[in-house]
Structure 1
Amino acid sequence: MLSPADHRLVRRDVDLVGLGLLLDTDALAAALISQFPDLDLSQVKKTYIRYKPATNCIVSYELTIAQTTVLAYAKAVTSQKKLEKYYQRPGVIQDCGIGRTVFRQEGIIFSVLPNDNALKQLPKLFDPRSRQEILQKLLPDHPDVSQGTLKTLRYKPERRYVAQLCVGEQKLAVVKAYTNKNYQQAQINANAFNSIAQLQILPKLAHCQGDRFLVFPWINASPLSDLITTSQANWEKITQTGIFLAQLHKQSAKHLNFLSRSDEAKNLLLLSSDLSWLCPQWKHRIQTIAVQLSIALLNAPPINLPIHGDFNAEQVLLNPTTNDITFIDFDCAVRSDPATDLGSFIAKLIQAELRGLLSTEQREKLSASLIAGYRTAAPELISDYWIQVYTAIALLRLASEPFRYCEFDWLEKIDTILCCIEKLIHQLPGDQFYCPA
């Protein structure tokens, strides 16, 4: 069933004829059963959308087949040549009877994991025999690893796959699979930072250049996100996180890409263009926000410090035994403005507040504790102005998430996020953005 906002989106994008089938899970289920009459399919659930207007759209699904959950994705394309190429490519048939199939009239490629058009190494990881060989090469110090099994933790089609490696009851490691485009920098980033005292950086255990795998140890710790959404939030841990984030920003961290102010501004304008397509009734509003934030960036001097790049409470693990704090997932690490990480963290807190997981008072206290901790270690690196600017920027990046994560009322939730951004901009000093001395 399509929401009213989905209906309007499908009607606008006449070039992507398969978009309606991708977004309508009932219609997709019927199409699959039409192609595979013996398929015991009881449910199709959308979980993730990546959409480029008039170009392509990828949608992830959880299928319930014979009372078993199966991960799959479909991609709508405009190129018939690309469609035929996929049609001729053999797929790995799964127990459900599907590997890869094509709906030619709608221009859709449908693939069941481990079939993936960009992560072509996944079938090796899923086949028990080849998986044993791969794991033995990656982790030779663990002789029993050949008996390891994988549990999918996160899967973004044609981008990244993350799984937990278990040997018996032991949770041993995390295995990440990357595309050709993203692997090299992810490997560099994984080695960029060092642990310091109680700040632990998740170390890389192994890598496989040919198959683009990175392996990290599994840590029996809880994410900070679990703590901060409880009524007994530990403010000391939030303050410590701020202190350790400042220490991270002071490291040398060689070989990271540099993200310039102009690149940041270009990315914001591209982002606003895609968001305006989703919400054409707010096009002027979205573009005004993007231009204001871009001007603020372009008027500021460059800052070239190492940052996490996607910092939030899910990337912080708390070890209750040692009191260590571990930062994880440096795939997005670059050299840029350290206020980026603080703004990213606070934007996620605002998102949690909008979802009813935090009160306004809790969110404000958490934000203040994080900033206070940071300032005890590096007061010279940040200002309230730039924290607020980067919080607004991070919220703009989060604005499409209600659509991306398939929420039925995504249009209304985007509006709510835009209101938060506008409020932040209005609270900044002066009539417009400027670079404070």
Structure 2
Amino acid sequence: MSGRWAQRARAAAARVLGGEPDVLTVAALRVREGREVYLCSAGERAVVAKCYPDAERAAAAARALELLGGAHGPLLVPECLALDAGERVVVQTHLRGRPLGERLAAGAGDEAVARLAAAVGALHGLGVRLPAEVSRATTLAAAEDALRRLSGADARLAARGVAGAREAFDGAPPLGPVPSHGDLGVAQILDCPPHLAIVDFDKAAQAEPALDVGNLVAQLVRSRPGDGAALAAALVAGYEAAAGATVAPLAAAYALLVLARKLAWLAPGRRAPVRAALEALVSSPLAPLAPR
């Protein structure tokens, strides 16, 4: 955590909350990919201040929240309160909620997944267009590039996943682009009754709806070896019912690419959960894609 970044967050939050920066209580929430995130409060009022390493990323994050922020049926997205372009800080609303992962761990998986499917469907149904775009081609190319960092059995397994994804893409026309989170996982979802809140829109872009669903499928299967595949299948079915679109084969394809990339990013000693998830997806009914 950088003292300089904390001071940037404090000053930007003070301009939103009012009062002098020194009277604010500032607590670091997380550091991720060079971005520092702080909870800044004055009494009962609180905001989140995110510090970015460059102005372009800060502006893109602010723009995504300007377009997507607010309550949308079952979905809640933070609103952008201010952008300090010079200091590269985005101030946004603080959403108070329980991590969705806790709901899953508490045995409420079916209910949580049903609400999640509805919330993601609501996100994709927003009538806005984000400036950035993520295509099948770029996602596939990133996974193919990741294969070069693998060897042996891991390389063969990841190659099967990439081949299966390519086959699924070749066999299905592209779905119309929708506003997409771009990096959606359970960690970005809060239970804020009656809504589910989705946060961290730093990689938001126009993309096929199957990208977000596939990211969630990959994480559920990887992080929950006991019931993850069943929850992933329920998520896909619930999303299709909510959105009125068939995404199952393409969601599985994106999940395979996510897992292939992750296998390459991780040190060999940390790959076991990803390896197991990738093996499950290339052979399960949810993703009958790769040759066996």
TM-score normalised per structure 1: 0.58
Q: 1:414 to 1:126 in 2, by over 3 A?
A: closer
Query: Where do residues 21-420 of structure 1 align in structure 2 (5 Å cutoff)?
Result: 113-114=1-2, 123=4, 125-127=5-7, 133-137=11-15, 139=16, 141-143=17-19, 146-156=22-32, 159-167=34-42, 170=44, 172-180=46-54, 181-194=56-69, 195-231=71-107, 233=108, 235-274=110-149, 276=150, 279=151, 282-297=154-169, 300-303=172-175, 304-320=177-193, 323-354=194-225, 359-360=226-227, 363-380=228-245, 382-400=246-264, 402-403=266-267, 410-411=268-269, 413-420=270-277
Measured after TM superposition, the shift of residue 134 of structure 1 is 3.7
Q: Please state whether the residue corresponding to 1:259 is helix, strand or coil.
A: coil
The CA distance in 1 between the partners of 2:234 and 2:289, in whole Å, is 27
Higher relative contact order (CA closer than 8 Å, sequence separation 6+) = 2
The CA distance in 2 between the partners of 1:431 and 1:284, in whole Å, is 12
Q: 1:298 to 1:318 in 2, by over 3 A?
A: same
Q: Please state whether the residue corresponding to 2:148 is helix, strand or coil.
A: helix
User: Deviation digits for residues 318-343 of structure 1, max 9, x if unmatched?
Assistant: 124xx222221111111112112112
- Identity among equivalent positions (%) equals 21
**Greater percentage in helix:** 2
Measured after TM superposition, the shift of residue 228 of structure 1 is 0.4
Measured after TM superposition, the shift of residue 300 of structure 1 is 4.3
Q: 1:173 to 1:286 in 2, by over 3 A?
A: same
Q: Are 2:180 and 2:206, in contact at CA under 8 Å, matched by a contact in 1?
A: yes
Q: Please state whether the residue corresponding to 2:72 is helix, strand or coil.
A: coil
Read off the aligned partner of 2:53 and give its amino acid letter: T
The CA distance in 1 between the partners of 2:98 and 2:73, in whole Å, is 19
User: Deviation digits for residues 107-129 of structure 1, max 9, x if unmatched?
Assistant: xxxxxx42xxxxxxx61x435xx
User: Deviation digits for residues 226-279 of structure 1, max 9, x if unmatched?
Assistant: 110123x153332122112112112222233121222112111122223x1xx5
Q: 1:287 to 1:346 in 2, by over 3 A?
A: closer
User: Deviation digits for residues 81-134 of structure 1, max 9, x if unmatched?
Assistant: xxxxxxxxxxxxxxxxxxxxxxxxxxxxxxxx42xxxxxxx61x435xx76644
Read off the aligned partner of 1:293 and give its amino acid letter: A
Query: Which runs of no fewer than 5 residues in structure 1 stay unpaired?
Result: 1-112, 115-121, 404-409
Q: Which moved more, 1:242-251 or 1:420-429?
A: 420-429
User: Deviation digits for residues 12-64 of structure 1, max 9, x if unmatched?
Assistant: xxxxxxxxxxxxxxxxxxxxxxxxxxxxxxxxxxxxxxxxxxxxxxxxxxxxx
Q: 1:152 to 1:369 in 2, by over 3 A?
A: same
Q: Which moved more, 1:423-432 or 1:365-374?
A: 423-432
Q: 1:297 to 1:371 in 2, by over 3 A?
A: closer
Query: Which runs of no fewer than 5 residues in structure 2 stay unpaired?
Result: none
Q: Please state whether the residue corresponding to 1:306 is helix, strand or coil.
A: strand
Q: Please state whether the residue corresponding to 2:67 is helix, strand or coil.
A: coil
Aligned to 2:278: 421
Paired residues in the alignment total 287
Measured after TM superposition, the shift of residue 212 of structure 1 is 0.8
Larger Cα Rg: Structure 1 or Structure 2? Answer: 1
TM-score normalised per structure 2: 0.84
Q: 1:334 to 1:237 in 2, by over 3 A?
A: same
Q: 1:150 to 1:136 in 2, by over 3 A?
A: closer
Q: Which moved more, 1:188-197 or 1:262-271?
A: 188-197
User: Deviation digits for residues 260-318 of structure 1, max 9, x if unmatched?
Assistant: 222112111122223x1xx5664344344334434543564333222111222222211
